[in-house]
Amino acid sequence: NKGKYMHYMQKEIHEQPESLTTTMRLIRGGACKSKTVLLRGLKDHLKTIRRSRRIVFVGCGTSYNAALASRPIVEELSGVPVTMEVASDLVDRQGPIYREDTAVFVSQSGETADTLQALDYALENGALCVGITNTVGSALARKTHCGVHIKAGCEIGVASTKASNWHFAYTSQIVVMAMLALAVGGDMISNETRREAIIDGLLDLPSKVKAVLKLDEEMKDLAELLISEQSLLVFGRGYNYATALEGALKVKEVALMHSEGILAGEMKHGPQPSNCFSCLSYLFHKHLFCCSKQQSVIQQLQARKGRLIVMCTKGDSASVSVGGSCRVIEVPHVEDCLQPVLNVIPLQLLAYHLTVLRGHNVAQTRNLAKSVTTQ
Ligand code: BG6
């Protein structure tokens, strides 16, 4: 039932405060009092994960992006190096996977063929295989040694919308992986302050997501401005590189507009924003915000006369020298590793409104299936 919403995609974007609260119950179960995270599905394997030579994140599409967003905090709290693998590429290359590795498979559906094939490959190579999925009883949940269920919500039939779950799955996946980082990091004294700040940040997320959702009308206005553009480049760095990739993926997938997520540090090494009509730049992370490199990316984009939209945390816009013509979108501030959860939401809204305004079918996007069970 779509209730007051026009489309399931819209409804699911707006339901994220609830889906995150559901996901967060994992930390409420007694865990919150002591400011630790209890992931029952992982507790017997935490020692092995901590002792791994490396953690390898494997996924496709949105799930890959969520893992990428979580990589820095997993590295920071666990001290274990994390590498990223697009599932199909790992299989194509038969990339090295060792018994001493922990391979973490991220899949909303738990049925994506590429991810499952990579899982079989990692199992054959003797790695500890951890699953992060939304779907209890899925092939991924059955085949991995251990894992976490996201509990973001139930799926809706494929015919109704490809969108079901996959918008809020991204935000819930990041939350679960932050919790994974906390669990693997354990109770090291040196991490105590950081750990507590993250847990507080997690508990604050649903209300902050609600605040971001109030940007709906503003994002609709922006979509009207961008409706006939040919391309949208999304720049981000640090924690928000993944946001740039995920935002661009949503615009490509649903609004069928060319879009690319670009690491802001690569700006000088190829991208030619002057050929693009719109550029969206990210400045969320507090210390990235102060970083002169990020400021210089903005200046370069302005010099190339792309239409520039800057997103930053509340109160920070005054200190960004973006010039009068630049649109600034402000989101609430949260602990850096959780900022991607808030930052992706305006882009989800933008993708939704662009889809509607460009006259595409939101419920059944061209060439998309809810889970891709072929290779
Ligand atoms: C792709 C979808 O086919 O599969 C993406 O278009 C999705 O939206 C990706 O993120 C991976 O799906 P899953 O279910 O493995 O997370």
Q: Give the model confidence (pLDDT) of 334-349 as tens digits.
A: 999 999 999 999 999 9
Q: What is the pLDDT of residue 282?
A: 56
Beta strands in 108-202 (DSSP E): 128-133, 146-149
70 Cβ inside 6 Å of ligand 1: no
Of ligand 1's listed atoms, the one at least distance from the Cα of 60 is 11
Dihedral-angle region of residue 28 (phi above 0 means left; psi in -120 to 50 means alpha; beta otherwise)? alpha
pTM for the structure as a whole: 0.89
Cα–Cα distance for residue pair 16/60, rounded to 1 Å? 21
112 Cβ inside 6 Å of ligand 1: yes
109 close to 141: Cβ distance less than 8 angstroms: no
Q: How far apart are the first and last CA of the chain?
A: 32
37 close to 178: Cβ distance less than 8 angstroms: no
CA of 296 to the centre of ligand 1 (A): 34
Cα–Cα distance for residue pair 59/265, rounded to 1 Å? 24
Cα–Cα distance for residue pair 362/226, rounded to 1 Å? 18
Complex-level ipTM: 0.96
Q: What is the pLDDT of residue 157?
A: 28
Of ligand 1's listed atoms, the one at least distance from the Cα of 109 is 14
Dihedral-angle region of residue 153 (phi above 0 means left; psi in -120 to 50 means alpha; beta otherwise)? left
- Atom 9 (ligand 1) nearest CA: 61
Q: Residue 318 has what DSSP assignment?
A: G
Pocket test for ligand 1, best of 63, 105, 171 (most atoms within 8 A of CB): 63
Q: Residue 266 has what DSSP assignment?
A: G
CA of 43 to the centre of ligand 1 (A): 28
- Atom 7 (ligand 1) nearest CA: 61
Of ligand 1's listed atoms, the one at least distance from the Cα of 169 is 16
Which candidate, 346, 365, 358, 331, places its Cα nearest to that of 224? Answer: 358
For 38-90, the pLDDT digits (tens) are 788 888 999 999 999 999 999 999 999 999 999 999 999 999 999 999 999 99
CA of 318 to the centre of ligand 1 (A): 38
365 Cβ inside 6 Å of ligand 1: no
Of ligand 1's listed atoms, the one at least distance from the Cα of 63 is 16
- Kindly state the tokens that stand for 345: 């939401």
Pocket test for ligand 1, best of 9, 57, 62, 245 (most atoms within 8 A of CB): 62
- In this structure, how many other beta carbons lie within 10 angstroms of the beta carbon of residue 1? 6
- In this structure, how many other beta carbons lie within 10 angstroms of the beta carbon of residue 96? 9
Q: What is the pLDDT of residue 155?
A: 37
- Name residues of the chain where pLDDT drops below 50: 28-32, 154-164, 275-279, 284-291, 370
CA atoms within 13 A on the CB side of 133: 28
5 close to 341: Cβ distance less than 8 angstroms: no
**231-236 sheet: strands from edge to edge:** 258-263, 231-236, 278-283, 307-313, 327-331
177 close to 67: Cβ distance less than 8 angstroms: yes
133 Cβ inside 6 Å of ligand 1: no
Q: What is the pLDDT of residue 163?
A: 38
